[in-house]
Structure 1
Amino acid sequence: MSNARHREWLIAFALILPFLVIYGLIFVYPTIRMFMLSFTDARLIGEGDWVGLENYTRLPGDRRFGTAFWNTAYFVLLTVVPGTLVALAIALGINRLKGRLQAAILALFFLPYILPVSVVYLIWDWTLNFQFGIAMYLFDAVGLDRIPVFKTTTWFMPAVAFVTIWWTCGFSVLLFLAGLRAIPDEIYEAAELDSSGRWTTFARITWPLLWPVTALVLTIQLISQLKIFDQVYLFSTGGRVNDNLVLVYYIFQRAFQSDQGGRAAAIAVVLFVIVVVVSVLNFQLTRLSGRSR
């Protein structure tokens, strides 16, 4: 028995070894190097001198870091919960459809998710561009003043948040649909026999049973939106770049534009810690909230 068990352990280790090697090379080693680099004054390429915590102690007094931090928090506020609610509403609507109509409507909502960010940028630039955007001609038709959506600080983040929800909610819709289809029909039949209304059925049956999926969607959305970069980078072209900074964009500026690898690594470490802490807290709180229902 001991030899058979030993052989099983060897086979299991041999099967997971390729994953461990790839995971170590792609994630673990770069993460360790990032932490080490954050304590130096190194450029993007090459070694640097050890400066200890200097890169971290400079962050509270860095105005652009403060702007990037609060813009990221604002963007998360605009996208995570609203995007989850929008996806839930769409999933509830699609779940009531049947057959090919359901498949067609689901495909329409999922299609934006598979588009590359460059295509998403072009679509919404054609729509909301101040000079030639389709929406601006509609504003002209009803007598409203044109709004430079992506050129003003006030409208930039809400506009990018709207585009992001449109772009990414398709995946969340799929998760919610999977959760809805996992709820047994017998529960709804019993609710019908009790003359339960639509809202009561949702509040007492659908929402509590769907809560684990909701917690998962919220966590995925939170992690994704904390790492926002592509949309902000593209839509900031020709606008007030420093006013629209988010944390990943600021890391990009420090590393690739200012050639300050050590300071960029320190910001990346701060973002890494924020993502881990906030994601774990969010998942645990939502899971505990679901248990109390």
Structure 2
Amino acid sequence: MLKNRRHEALIALTLVAPFVAIYGLVFIYPTIKMFILSFTDAPLIGDGEYVGFDNYTRLLRDRRFDTALWNTFYFVALSVVPGTFIAMAISLGINRLKGRLQAFVLALFFLPYILPVSVVFTIWDWTLNFQFGVAMHVFDLLGIDRVPVFKSSAWFMPAVALITVWWTCGFSILLFLAGLRAIPVEIYEAASLDNTSRWQVFRRITWPLLNPITALVMTIQLILQLKIFDQVYLFSTGGRMNDNLVLVLYVFQRAFQSNQGGRAAAVAVVLFLLVIIVSVLNFQLARLSGSRDR
């Protein structure tokens, strides 16, 4: 009996070992290295001297870091909550469809999610570009002044948030559909016998039972959108990139343009801790909300 257990444990360790090794190599080691680097004045490549918390105290006086932090939170506010509820609303509509029509509509909404960011950039640049965008020609026909969407600080983040919601909504819709299909049909049948309105069914049955999925979707979106880089970098090309600065773009500039690996690592550590804190808070709030609904 003891030999069998040891044999099973050995097999389990053999199966898990490659994953642990790869995980340690590509995540744990770089994370530890990032924390160590943030306390030095090292360039991107090479060693540096230990400077303590100097890189972090500089961030407190760095206006560009303040701009990046504000823009990141602003973008998250514009994209995460609206994107989550838009995906939920669409999934509720798709769930009412049947057969091939449901599959076709779901495919239409999921299609943007599989597109690479370069294709997403091209599509929306053709649409909203101030000089040759399709939307601008429509504005001309309607007698409306053209709007420099990607050149204006006021319009840039809302536009990128809209594009991001369009791009990533498909995955959230799939998660919500999975949650809707996991709700027992008998609950809805019992509600129909009591002549319950659709709003009451949603508020008292669907919404509470979708709380775990909603928390999952919002956590995934929070993590993804806090790390936004591609969209901002591409759509800022030729524009006012410093006004549209976000945290990951700031890390990129410090590391690859200014060759300040230590300061870039400090910003990356702040972002890393921010993602963890926001994710934990989101899950705790979801748990509290779920316990109240019960």
TM range (shorter): over 0.9
In structure 1, the partner of 2:194 is 194
Whole-Å separation in 1 of the counterparts to 2:2 and 2:164: 55
Q: Distance between the aligned counterparts of 1:235 and 1:264, measured in 2?
A: 22
Structure-1 separation of matches of 2:27 and 2:157: 30
Secondary structure of 1:242 counterpart:
coil
Is residue 80 from structure 1 mapped to residue 80 from structure 2 by the alignment? yes
SS state at 1:243 partner = coil
1:34-183 correspondence to structure 2 within 5 Å: 34-183=34-183
**Cα distance between partner residues in 2 of 1:11 and 1:284:** 36
Q: Which amino acid aligns with 1:145?
A: D
Q: Distance in 2 between matches of 1:290 and 1:233?
A: 38
Deviations 1:97-152 (A, max 9, x none): 00000000000000000000000000000000001100011111111100000001
Secondary structure in 1 matching 2:210: helix
Equivalent residue number for residue 290 of structure 1: 290
Q: Which residue of 1 aligns with 2:257?
A: 257
* Deviation (angstroms), 1:10: 1.3
Whole-angstrom CA distance in 1 between matches of 2:270 and 2:57: 12
Indicate the SS of the match to 1:5. Answer: helix
Q: Report the more deviating stretch, 283-292 or 13-22.
A: 283-292
Matched AA of 1:262 = G
CA distance, structure 2, for counterparts of residue 132 and residue 241 of structure 1: 21
Deviation at 1:3, TM superposition (A): 2.1
Query: Which whole-Å CA distance do the structure 1 matches of 2:137 and 2:234 have between them?
Result: 23
| Residue type at the aligned position of 1:68 | A
Partners of 1:138 and 1:99 lie apart in 2 by 37
Q: How does 1:260-279 map to 2 (within 5 A)?
A: 260-279=260-279
What is the CA–CA distance in structure 2 between the aligned matches of 1:136 and 1:248, rounded to whole Å? 31
What is the percent sequence identity of the aligned residues? 74
**Structure 2 counterpart of 1:25:** 25
- Please state how far the C-alpha of 1:2 moved relative to its aligned partner: 2.2
SS at 1:280 equivalent: helix
Which residue of 1 is the match for residue 229 of structure 2? Answer: 229
Distance in 1 (CA, whole Å) between partners of 2:284 and 2:198 is 30
> How many angstroms does 1:292 deviate by?
1.1
Counterpart CA distance in 2 for 1:203 and 1:286 is 16
SS at match of 1:97: coil
Task: Quote how far apart the aligned CAs of 1:6 are.
Answer: 1.8
Number of equivalent positions: 293
- Per-residue CA shift, 1:241-278, capped at 9, x if unaligned? 00000000000000001111010000000100000011
TM-score by length of 1: 0.99
Aligned partners of 1:243, 1:250: CA distance in 2, in Å? 11
- The Cα shift of 1:290 comes to 1.1
Letter in 1 for 2:129: N
Look up the equivalent residue of 1:118 and give its one-letter code: S
Q: Secondary structure at the match of 1:45?
A: coil
Quote the Cα distance in structure 1 between the aligned partners of 2:155 and 2:207: 33
Give ranges in structure 1 of 5+ residues lacking alignment: none
Distance 1:218 1:165 in 2: 12
Q: Which runs of 5 or more structure 2 residues have no equivalent in the other structure?
A: none
3-state SS of the aligned residue for 1:34?
A: helix
Equivalent residue letter for 1:286: A
Structure 1 moving runs of 4+ over 4 Å: none
